[in-house]
A and B are shown apart, each in its own frame.
Chain A
Amino acid sequence: MASDYTLNKASVPAKVVIKDLYKIFGTNPKMGLQHVRNGVNKTDLLDQYGQVLGLRDINVEMGEGQITVIMGLSGSGKSTLIRHLNRLIEPTAGEILVDGVDVMSYSKSQLRELRQSQMSMVFQKFALLPHRSVLVNAGMAMRIRGEEEDAINAEAYKWLERVGLKGVENQYPHQLSGGMQQRVGIARALTSNAPIMLMDEAFSALDPLIRTDMQNLLLELQKDLHKTIVFITHDLDEALKIADHLVILKDGHTVQQGEPQDILLNPCDPYIEDFVGDINRARVLRARSIMLPLSGELPSDTQGQVDHDDTLESIIARSGGDISHGFIVTKEGTPVGTIDMTAVLKALVPRISTDTGVRNY
């Protein structure tokens, strides 16, 4: 299923583009690649040829300053995909363009330069240096680049404070809780000042409440920093909360990608329908996704205004449960559409019931 997806928001240039990417693990990836191109699937490739299909025909554009979330069940190839961006894993075929340049053409030193100052990374298991203090860990990227010790520490202090870790600079990672360790991981990535940030299941190892805190921290930081973030998760709630662009992987290929709201409203595959079936849609869907665009005059029989980013949950609360209500949707104060409660209620029901037994993967 090669989807030739391009960003629908023309205003956002692509920072990272992945083109026709294939990855096959095994003793003879070239042979495996031939079979995969001829349509052999992951299970058959392993059973008959002993090769593991990592990724198949991936095409993704990651917009500058946006959060691209890659979601899928465990083993679907998320980690493999994100490690291709900084070539911690070498592709079997395909291109990885960063600012329009193919990373595959980089020499060893260019690649190191890319990792040192273009891309930072946050890991599921934190991966901090256990023998170094929090401060030294936070300054790792700049120290690798060989910058002045004073400048490194100033930056490290600044970002540690920014992620809420003032006062623990001289402690060691093992003295901190998981959530605090991952804050150090984020501070380490931010101190590198790289425009691209890769996060591989960065919050998956944390308790639910701390996880919510971290998601909020990330969104709040992103409001100021506008990094190009590639975020991996296996949790749809998390994906919907932070994604500007959502890519759903299954068995190494993209099943669907696009605006999260679109995917929620128009799932194109039983796999995704099943995924989105358990979601609290009222809390995720927003007015802009289901409003009718404004045509001509403003209707007069509405009960007030809602913002285009308001969730359906808040609109239902506004209506007090009265399904005859309707609202004008505004964006930065100016009306852009209308929404009525019938449409809101309809949007709350998944398009296809999930009771039909597609949960068979």
Chain B
Amino acid sequence: MAAYDWFFDTVGLREWCNATKSEGTMSMADLLAKANGGAAETSWWEVPFPSLDTLNKSCEAVIRTRDFTASIEQAFLGVKDKMKVVLDPLTQPLSWMLDGALSLFVGTPWWLLIALMLMLTYYASRNVLVTIFVAFSFFLLAFIDHYTYAVQTLSIIFVCTILSVLMGVPIGIAMSKSNTFQRFTIPILDMLQTLPSFVYLIPLIFLFSVTESKLYGIAIIMYAIVPVVRLTDLGIRLVDKDVIEAANAFGMTSRQKLFGVEIPLALPNIMAGINQTIMMALAMVVIASLVSAPGLGTLVLRGIRNLELGVGLVSGFAIVLLAVVLDRVSKASLARINAAQSH
């Protein structure tokens, strides 16, 4: 006698239960119960929660939880091939970009790449101290033989940030223009931001093979695009209403208004979003080493897998250093833009 037999008897579903015998394999608990010579009467104190598995014991027409998860998997596998037909060509350029950037970054001689990065840093921030700090960091990383790993990580962040900005800014603009679109988008952004990073990887692993770099590219972009979208939307909504009114009063077209007024005035906020996007891309690229993303994350992984404490700690330090470098450079550029248009 199982705990909920009385329920199916009184409601009159007994026949329906007996008509469809489930043919699933027996669980360990079932086997144990069988071995004990059938379930004993349960006292009211020990009545189990009417979960799928419990109900299944009383009525075999009710599916078990593992059948349920299996059916989700089946459904997913069922649409997988169809989705791949659409998604594969669509996302293929991402693989090329990631691989291209990777070989470009790694293939460039170290002295040239560091020089270029220092020039870029100075051009973006106009700040000598920040440039010196970046130079120091790279020489330090190179000195402890983490240069290649750091550059691999950097190339992935580079590609993913650019793509996040290219897609995120237009989405943010559309959100700022349409309240309906904003209402529809915000829950998605909330979900992307609150999902634990590992959960992203699960459906992606099914969809794409782990050997393809777009797998981690997509995971990183989905995670990192959120702040730039949010802050573009916010920035454009916060543009001074008086200035917008002046733009309208002088007959600007929406296009002139967007590029001549709204985006420039929202730029400090958009840049703050890009700063956060870069930091989130870095966080995700470390986790993405689980699915074959190269870079500093692989060293952390090695530290965990092989219990190589030193490797893990040093690569962790390298990641922190890289994070500080990226943060300082983007913040310094942000400060420069703010200074240029403070009111």
Contacts and interface: CB of A to CB of B under 8 A. Distances in A.
Interface of A: 86, 88, 111-117, 119-121, 123, 125-131, 140-141, 144-145, 172-174, 192, 198
A119 B245 CA distance: 14
19 contacts: A88-B245, A112-B251, A115-B248, A115-B249, A115-B250, A116-B250, A120-B249, A121-B246, A121-B250, A123-B246, A127-B246, A129-B243, A129-B260, A130-B240, A130-B343, A131-B341, A140-B250, A145-B251, A198-B249
A111 B252 CA distance: 11
A228 to B, nearest CB: 16
Interface string B216-253: 00000000000000000000000010110110111111
A118 to B, nearest CB: 9
A207 to B, nearest CB: 19
Q: Is the interface of A mostly helix, strand, loop or mixed?
A: mixed
B65 interface: no
Contacts of B252: 144
B242 A144 contact: no
Given A131-B340, A145-B251, 11 more contacts: A86-B249, A111-B251, A112-B253, A114-B251, A115-B249, A128-B243, A128-B246, A130-B341, A144-B251, A144-B256, A192-B250
B113 to A, nearest CB: 34
B338 to A, nearest CB: 11
B261 interface: yes
B334 interface: no
B210 to A, nearest CB: 47
A113 B251 contact: yes
Q: Is the interface of B mostly helix, strand, loop or mixed?
A: helix
Contacts of A116: 250-251
Interface residues of B, number: 20
B265 interface: yes
Interface of B: 240, 242-243, 245-246, 248-253, 256, 260-261, 264-265, 340-343
Contacts of B251: 111-117, 141, 144-145
Contacts of B245: 88, 123, 127
A86 B253 CA distance: 15
Contact of A88 (B248, B265, B341): B248
A175 to B, nearest CB: 10
A245 to B, nearest CB: 22
A127 B342 contact: no
Contacts of A86: 249
A121 B249 contact: yes
Contacts of A114: 251
A90 to B, nearest CB: 13
